[in-house]
Amino acid sequence: MHVISALADSTAPWPIRAADKGDSGRDNDGDGQVGIATKTRAKPKKPSQFKVLMLNDDYTPMEFVVMVLKRFFHMDLEQATRVMLHVHQKGVGVCGIFPYEIAETKVNQVMDFARQNQHPLQCTLEKA
């Protein structure tokens, strides 16, 4: 098969079509393959990371926030207390940084747990 070498020509400001590179779309080497070009990435991209943020509110008890940080983010009492107080004073704080699916699961777990206990605690995601 004729491989289209400029498929990923980063200097071209437009997508390069097979015809632009003299590939007629016909089988040129008799191997029965027509117009298929694949390019594997030499360097696979790292999965992007997301911060899980906790937001302050006036009603959720401090003890509950500490419990959440221990339960879902595996913090010890000291660390959880420090993060809770940071959120209480600054309005927002980072609970941890995770790949997207794990971060999303943590947010859902925290929000479900807060709802079940009738607290307005809010948790969200932000690209790291």
Give the interface with ligand TYC as residue ranges (CB under 6 A): 54-58, 60-62, 65, 84, 87-88, 121
Cβ burial of 94 (10 Å; 0-12, 13-18, 19+) is middle
Least spacing, CB of residue 45 vs ligand TYC, in Å: 33
Closest separation between CB of residue 101 and ligand TYC, Å?
Answer: 23
Taking the least distance from each CB to ligand TYC, the nearer of 4 and 83 is 83
Q: What angle separates helix 100-116 from helix 62-73, to the nearest 10 degrees?
A: 140
Chain centroid to CA 87: 23
Q: Please, what is the minimum distance in Å from the beta carbon of residue 99 to ligand TYC?
A: 23
> Of the two residues 4 and 121, which places its CB atom closer to ligand TYC in the complex?
121
120's tokens: 């307005």
Nearest Cα to 28, choosing from 64, 56, 1? 1
* Closer residue to ligand TYC, CB minimum distance, 4 or 110: 110
